[in-house]
Chain A
Amino acid sequence: MLSQIQRLSQETEGRYASDEELRFLVEYARSFELRVQTYQKIQAAEAQILQQVQAKMRSLDPTLFRSGNDDITNKWKRDTLRTLRYSAAAMLIDDPEALRERFLFWFQTIMRAFGAQKSCGVTYTVMQEVIKQHLTTSEASLILPILEVNRRMLGTV
């Protein structure tokens, strides 16, 4: 949304914006309360979401938390927590573009450097299933597309 506002202000320099150009603001205003509510729910359930994702992943494939002989659970937790927080913020301000530019493009190269694409793929697939249990359908519809972008960008070899 902030990226869109910036673009709008550049494109409408010296003139009024058309109704069509303003539509995203109207839509954002309409969805604002739902966004705040979803953000707060994710915030409150963060630890639980993470724990459920971890448990589900461990049941699917315990080796996802190992790198050679090292247990990388804590590293995974740090990375996943950070991504979830950035994702929630992007959902709140409806700015997936900024999420990509400021976080995902960089994080993608780092995850690839560590060969973590498989783990990321499973993490953000499972996270979509888990987060649905904490949110209503309309709340989930705001965050799921962002988690799917995370899965595609971080989890693809």
Chain B
Amino acid sequence: MANSTWGSTPELLHQSSAKLKNPKKHNHYGFKDFFQFDPNRGTIVDWNNSQNVLTTEDFIIGLVEGLEEEVGEASAATMYTIGCDWGQKDAFFFEKWFEKEYDRPMRQTNLLFLLETWWWPFTAQGWGRWEIDLGDRKQGFMFINIFDSAVARTLGDVGKPVCFLYAGLFAGFFTELVKKQLSCIEIQCYSMGETYCKFLLGGQDRIDAASFWLNEGATARDIEKRLRSGELR
């Protein structure tokens, strides 16, 4: 399920009786709680009043392959840029709903809790579960694992990373969150025959280094090791 947070309009409101009764309920990510289907208007609105659209795997294949046909190798960069834009806009959208739901400023919140809360709507929408490793953030980088990436799961084993939209989403969101330009690269992908996707988030120098190592045939584990030992090529 895809969402369009910036496309939400004031008249699209999740107004199920469950939400009206318990507007502050935090565990609202079950399918029936999170989505409100309005068959008369043909809309699907989620708990945060964002409009959602159901898409098929054919749609995802069409999107990826169609873009490749149109712009060739630039399709990866295009998807990444779309993701960045989405992530940046979603950071503002998230700040609004988070502060309304939890009655506290986003920046005075336990970071891991904040991030889990940010990703939960994505999990509910079918973008996959995640695992975030903040262990290296003081060194200026971190890793995110995505299980069941909607894009990779759809495309299957094609022998190369395909989740550029996700990489862009993380880069855009975290850039807004920490108010510092960050980039992201997928260093391991389900579509390369791995069991899950792994993303590296950090400053451009580190992402460039990881990209170089990746092209040289390094694995995600090699890249983790090299970054942790302070290498930059």
Contacts and interface: CB of A to CB of B under 8 A. Distances in A.
Given A113-B110, A114-B110, A102 B27 contact: yes
Contact of B27 (A103, A112, A114): A103
B120 A106 contact: yes
Contacts of A110: 113, 116
Interface in B4-41: 26-27, 29-31, 33
A29 B75 CA distance: 58
B27 A107 contact: yes
Contact of A102 (B30, B113, B116): B30
Interface residues of A, number: 12
Interface in A96-135: 98, 101-103, 105-107, 109-110, 112-114
A109 B110 contact: no
B131 to A, nearest CB: 9
Interface string B119-153: 01000000000000000000000000000000000
A102 B33 contact: yes
B112 interface: yes
Contacts of A98: 30
A19 B16 CA distance: 36
Given A103-B27, A114-B113, A109 B33 contact: no
Interface in A32-67: none
Contacts of B112: 112-114
Interface of B: 26-27, 29-31, 33, 110, 112-113, 115-116, 120
Interface of A: 98, 101-103, 105-107, 109-110, 112-114
7 contacts: A101-B30, A105-B29, A106-B29, A106-B120, A110-B113, A112-B112, A112-B116
